[in-house]
Amino acid sequence: MINKNKIFKLKKDRRSFLRLTTTSMAAIGSAFAIWPFIDSMNPSADVLALGIKEFDLSNIEEGSSKTVKWRGKPVFIKHRTKQEINEARKVNLSELRDPQKDENRVVKPEWLIVVGICTHLGCIPLGQKKSDTKGDFNGWFCPCHGSHYDSSGRVRKGPAPKNLKVPKYKFVDKNKIKIG
């Protein structure tokens, strides 16, 4: 309940009413004036323009992957084999720290697209090159603090709290995706 006495007193006390309105106008005005200053530090138009990017998938062979740069971050594009897809789909959800079905992490099962940044403290996990270690679950292994990801990019072991993030993307045509 708003203090009735207070309102009553305000009506009586012209000076404190004026003070209140003036101060609040000044506060509101300052808030509006400060916004452009704060917003100038947000991503600028040229940065946002790079936020949506198209990538060609045609030269990524089955079983191999490619790292592309999107919004300054590495994105893993993995052309999965039948075996890798099966492995990812067979997993019992109750075993997972961040339970998510593989079906919900891909648009087409043979293409896994995830942001290649460990959800623990931001290192880039190994596993993109053929020679890299892929961790205990045939996906990725983060060398910084030892997190293991499976072939769906889900965390299976180590300190990472979440699965590798799936960016928003769609297929423009059969061999082309647009991320962002």
Partner 1 sequence: MTKKFKNKTLAWLDYRLPIFSVLREALVDHPTPRNLNYWWNFGSLAGITLVIMIVSGLLLSMHYVAHVDLAFDSVEHIMRDVNYGWLLRYIHSVGSSMFFLIVYIHISRGLYYGSYKSPREVLWWLGIIIFFLMIITAFLGYTLPWGQMSFWGATVITNLFSAIPLIGDNIVTWLWGGFSIDNPTLNRFYSLHFLIPFIIVGVVFLHIVALHKFGSNNPTGIDLTLKQEKIPFHPYYTVKDFFGYGVFFIIFGIFVFFLPNLLGHPENYIPADPFVTPEHIIPEWYFLPFYAILRAIPFKLLGVLAMLGSILILFVLPWLDTCKVRSCRFRPIYKQFYWIFIFNFIVLGWVGSKVPEGHYLIISRICTAYYFTHFLIILPILGMFEKTLPVPLNIFKNPKTKKN
* CA atoms of 152 and 83, how far apart (whole Å): 12
CB 127, min distance to partner 1, A: 36
> Do residues 139 and 150 touch, judged by C-beta distance below 8 A?
yes
CB of 30 to partner 1, least distance (A): 11
Chain centroid to Cα 56, Å, comes to 22
User: Does the annotation count 148 as an active-site position?
Assistant: no
Closest approach of partner 1 to the CB of residue 31, in Å: 15
* DSSP letter for each residue of 56-86: E-TT--TT-EEEEEETTEEEEEEE--HHHHH
Catalytic residue among 79, 120, 145, 148: 145
76 touches 57 (CB < 8 A): no
Binding to partner 1 (CB under 8 A) within 23-62 occurs at 26, 36-37, 39-42, 44-47
Cβ distance to partner 1 smaller for residue 18 or 93: 18
* Residue 172 is a binding residue for partner 1 (CB under 8 A): no
Q: Which is nearer to partner 1, 47 or 121 (CB)?
A: 47
Contacts 24+ apart (CB under 8 A), 137-140: 138/84, 138/87, 140/76, 140/116, 140/164
The nearest distance, CB 53 to partner 1, in angstroms, is: 17
* Residue (39 or 95) nearer to partner 1, CB: 39
Number of residues that bind partner 1 (CB under 8 A): 11
- Lookup: tokens for 39: 């917003």
Residues with a catalytic annotation lie at 145
Q: Which residues of this protein are in contact with partner 1, per CB under 8 A?
A: 26, 36-37, 39-42, 44-47
